[in-house]
Amino acid sequence: MSTQAARSIPFTHTTPQQGFRLLELPPELVELVFSNEAPTLELKSPPPSQSQTESQSEPDEARDYVHLCTPNKTYQVRQVQSSNSLHILRPSTNAAIVENKNEIDNNGDDDMDMELAMNTETVTSIAKCGSTLELYMPKEGFSAVPFLVKTLGFYSGGEDRADVDVDMVDGDEGEYARITMNALFADIPVSKAQCEQGWVDLCAFVLRSNAKTNTPSANCWRPSAKVKVDVWKRVVEGAVLQGINLEKQFLVNDLWKSVLDDNGEEPFPRGLFEAVVRRVCEDSTASGEAMQWTNIEKPRCIQWIGETYLEAKAPTATSALGRSEFLNAWKDHLPESWRSEVTFSKLPEGSYKFPDPTSICYVKEGDRQKVKKNLSTDASAATTAKKSRNWHELFRNQRRR
C-alpha cells in the first residue's frame, strides 16, 4: 500500500489575542457594498432617553440594540453564539520565526527544526471568535413610525400655536425644515428612506418653536387625527370654491391660497397643510422642500380619509359611530365623483371593528399588532396540534398492522 507524505504547516498564536467581531452579510448587502457607487452604511441605535423609557415599560425584553442602515433598508445586528470557535489567521514571515528563535531553543528543538521552521510557511492565530454577528430583517421590515410617535411633539390645533413662532423669512422654510429633519432622523434607528416614509405617514411637519430647548424634536410635530380631518375638509371646500380639480394635476400654491381666510390669514401652518396634501399624493417624499405641482392618488386618498375620520370621531368602542353615519361622513370629505367608491372594504385590514350590529369604531395600531400576534400563535398551535394528531393517527395505524 502506497503512502503519501503530507506537508505540515506550523501553527502558532499570538498573546494576547486581538479583539475581532465577525459580521455575516446577506448577499444583497454584499452586492451593494462592492458596487461601483457603494453608499455609506450607518450603525444607529435609539437615543439613551428612549432606550431607558422602553426598558422601564417592557423590562422583559432587551432594548439595547444596534441597526445597520443602508439608504433605504434596515437590518438588526444580532449576536449568534457558536459551539465551534472561529480563528482569524495571518501568514507569518520568516522574520517572525527568527524573533522566536529563543523560544524554539528553550523547548529543546535542534538546529534542524529551526532550519525547517525558517523555510516553511507558518500561520498565526491572531484572534479567536466564539460568536458572530448576523443581520436580521423581519418579513414586514422596520418602520420609523413607532420611534417618531415617541419623539415628535403632538399638535392638537390652534391652542398649540401660541407656543410656536411661524414668522419665518421667505425662502428659509425649506432649508430650515431640511436641516431639522435630518438632525431628527440621525437619532431614529432606521434608514433615511424609512424615516421619510414614516414622516409622511404621520403627516409630520416642522414648525419653529419658542421653547428654550433647541433640539430638533422641539420643532417637529405630528397632528392629531381631528386636526388632519379639519385641514383636509378645508382643502376640499377651498378646491370647490376656487374651481381646482383635485382629480387632475394642480399647483399646490393655488390650493394653499384657496384655504386662506377672507383677510388672507392662515387658518393653520403652511407646513401642516403641505403634510396633509403630501400624505395623499403620488409624490410622497419628505424632502423638506415646498411642494409645486402634484397629483392626488385616489385609492390612497379614499383609504386614508376613511381611516383618519374614524380615528378622529370613534377612537374607542364607547364612542362608536353608526355605520351609515360614518359612510356618509366619509363621502362628504371626498370629491363628488369619488363618493360611489366608499365601502368598508377600502379601509386598511384590522383598522376597524363592529362593536354591535349597527356601529363601527377605530382599532389602534398596537391592538392590531396584538391581534396579528394572537392569530399567528393560534395558527402555529393549530398546526402543531394537527401534526400531533396525524402522528398519533399514523402510529395507531402502524400498530394495527
Lowest mean pLDDT among 103-112, 227-236, 300-309: 103-112
Q: 203 and 182 in one domain?
A: yes
Please tell me whether residues 355 and 235 are part of one structural domain: yes
The full DSSP string for 68-126 is EE-SS-EEEEEEEEEEEEEEEEEEEPHHHHHHTHHHHHHTT--HHHHHHHHTS-EEEEE
Residue 96 has pLDDT above 90, yes or no: no
* 264 Cβ contact partners less than 8 Å away, ≥ 6 residues apart: none
- pLDDT mean over 34-52: 82
**Residue 371: inside a domain:** no
pLDDT at 379 over 50: no
Is 119 within 8 Å of 174 (Cβ atoms)? no
Of 161, 165, 153, which Cα lies nearest the Cα of 267? 161
Quick one: 184 and 84 in the same domain? no
Same-domain pairing of 190 and 250? no
Question: What is residue 329's predicted lDDT score, i.e. its pLDDT?
Answer: 97
Residue 337 neighbours by CB under 8 Å, 6+ apart: 247
Same domain, 172 and 131: no
Do 149 and 94 sit in the same domain of this protein? no
For residues 247 and 351, membership in a common domain is answered with yes
Residue of 216 and 327 predicted with greater confidence: 327
389, part of any domain: no
When pLDDT is cut at 50, 70 and 90, the band that residue 371 belongs to is confident
pLDDT for 84 beyond 60: yes
- Residue 102's alpha-carbon distances to 95, 108, 234, in angstroms, are 13, 10, 88
Of the residues 112, 136, 160, the one at which a domain ends:
136
Question: In this structure, are 206 and 236 located in the same domain?
Answer: no
Phi/psi at 378 (nearest 5 deg)? -65, -40
Q: Are residues 177 and 294 in the same domain?
A: no
**Of the candidates 208, 223, 238, which is a domain's last residue?**
223
Q: Does residue 383 fall inside a structural domain?
A: no
Asked if residue 217 and residue 298 are part of one domain, the reply reads: no
Secondary element (H or E) of residue 23: strand 22-24
Q: Residue 399 domain-assigned?
A: no
pLDDT for the residue numbered 377: 47
Domain assignment of residue 401, yes or no: no
Q: Which three cell numbers stand for residue 377?
A: 400563535
Does any domain span residue 207? yes
What is the model's pLDDT at position 171?
A: 53
Q: Please report whether residue 379 resides in a domain.
A: no
Winning range, highest mean pLDDT, from 71-85, 118-132, 159-173: 71-85
Domain identity same for 15 and 130:
yes
Residue 93, pLDDT score: 60
299 in the same domain as 269: yes
Is residue 393 in a domain? no
For residues 24-53, average pLDDT: 84
Kindly state the average pLDDT of the residues 207-223: 78
Question: What total of structural domains would you count in the chain?
Answer: 3
Q: What is the pLDDT of residues 264-275, one digit of tens each?
A: 899 999 999 999
Percent of the chain at pLDDT above 90? Answer: 52
Can you give the pLDDT at residue 356?
94
What percent of the chain has a predicted confidence (pLDDT) above 70?
74
At 158 the pLDDT is: 66
Where does the pLDDT of residue 393 fall: very low under 50, low under 70, confident under 90, or very high at 90 and above? very low
Question: Residue 141: enclosing H or E segment and its boundaries?
Answer: none
Last residue of a domain, one of 136, 168, 194: 136
Strands (E), 285-345: 293-294, 321-322
Residue 200 domain boundaries: 145-223
* Predicted local distance difference test score (pLDDT) of residue 196: 93
Top-confidence residue, 134 or 287:
134
Closest CA to 182 of 273, 287, 285, 271: 287
